[in-house]
Amino acid sequence: APAPLEDADDDTIRIMLSTDNHLGYAETDPVRGNDSFAAMEEVLYLAKQYGCDMVLLAGDLFHENKPSRRTLHKAMSIFRKYCMGPKPVSIQILSDQSKNFRQGQINFQDEFYSVDLPVLSIHGNHDDPSREGSELYAALDLLDCANLVNYIGRQDEG
């Protein structure tokens, strides 16, 4: 297992950056169907091993804007496994959280959850919000509501 970044001091923020994960890509393919999930799990595993303070997902977490229930379930299970835990989070959010987080605050500050690896994500062109009645929703909204991922840069108007 890799060692935490030894040359980093207490003032260094360690961010694992990942993009274009495309969870659910080729999910019905018997050979490649789990590749996107294995890759996402590796990202989060390495973030823990390297002692990262947070994970930033820079778009296209999901391959489709309406992923299958299987894809959502596997994604939620992976984030739950790697992001929930008892260790304190060492970063702080200085902006007005009520304006930037749909739940009103970043997930690790919710007293009812024990998050030790915060994940912040934007949507991409594959998993952008689609209209449900008069509101726009993305699959990321479900992960955000479950306090597994912090969905930032959310689109409220279409």
Residue 10 class from Cβ within 10 Å (0-12 exposed, 13-18 middle, 19+ buried)? exposed
DSSP letter string, 27-55? TT-TTTTTHHHHHHHHHHHHHHHTT-SEE
Tokens of 102: 């749909």
Determine the angle formed by the axes of helices 35-49 and 69-83, rounding to 10 degrees.
Answer: 10
CA distances from 112 to 19, 27, 146, 147 (A): 29, 33, 11, 10
The three-state secondary structure class of 132 is strand
DSSP single-letter state for residue 126: S
73 is catalytic: no
The one catalytic residue among 22, 63, 123, 126 = 126
- Residue whose token pair is 């890759």: 39
The catalytic residue positions are 126
